[in-house]
Amino acid sequence: MRELNIANIPPAGDERPMRSVVQRVDRASVSVGECTISRIENGLLVFLGVEGGDTEVDADFLLEKIINLRVFEDTQGKMNLSLIDTSGGMLIISQFTLLADCRKGRRPSFIAAADPENARRLYDYFVVKAGEKVKRVGTGEFQAMMKIDSINDGPVTLLLDSRKQF
């Protein structure tokens, strides 16, 4: 396994990093139209936003962070276990709106989001790498209108980015 080197991640500057919203769930599913295309039980629902300029280094960093976060309860009720420890599932949904800039006006700007070709490439890369580490991985459909159904556990919701801005 290749060791991640955080020093290789470009400085934040004015650019925003790859972002994710991670929710601990009892179950989650995604539907396109009337068809449920994927579902998980007991795991993490991951919304993933790819910014222009993101690379595989960003994706690797976020994936390692997500799968190793100690957000699941141990036998004493303490959050001491990771997704890897619990063999939980991961449902990964692409969501360019995580990169919205709402600082001016009333309409969000999505100019920071990666173009669809690069976003799909990094989303697919993230999914493939997740499948190498997590037993059960589900996905949404890239660029589709999706309905996400989830039962949050806790609730536990975390914001992560590849350049540790928050």
Residue from 23, 61, 95, 139 carrying the catalytic annotation:
95
Residue from 97, 143, 157, 165 carrying the catalytic annotation:
97
pLDDT in tens, 30-46: 999 999 999 999 999 99
Evaluate if residue 69 carries a pLDDT over 60: yes
Q: In which residue are the tokens 């396994």 written?
A: 1
pTM of the model: 0.88
Q: Check if the beta carbon of residue 128 is closer than 8 Å to that of residue 92.
A: no
Residue 12's pLDDT is 42
Q: Check if the beta carbon of residue 99 is closer than 8 Å to that of residue 51.
A: yes
Residue from 61, 96, 126, 139 carrying the catalytic annotation:
96
Mean pLDDT, to the nearest integer, of 82-105? 96
Alpha-carbon distance of 166 to 108, in angstroms, equals 20
Question: Higher pLDDT residue, 60 or 11?
Answer: 60
Our answer to whether residue 143 is catalytic in this structure is no
Q: CATH says 18-160 is which class? A: alpha beta
Alpha-carbon distance of 84 to 64, in angstroms, equals 10
Our answer to whether residue 157 is catalytic in this structure is no
Q: State the CB neighbour count (10 A cutoff) for residue 96.
A: 20
Looking at every residue in the chain, the average pLDDT score rounds to: 90
Our answer to whether residue 97 is catalytic in this structure is yes
Q: State the CB neighbour count (10 A cutoff) for residue 99.
A: 23
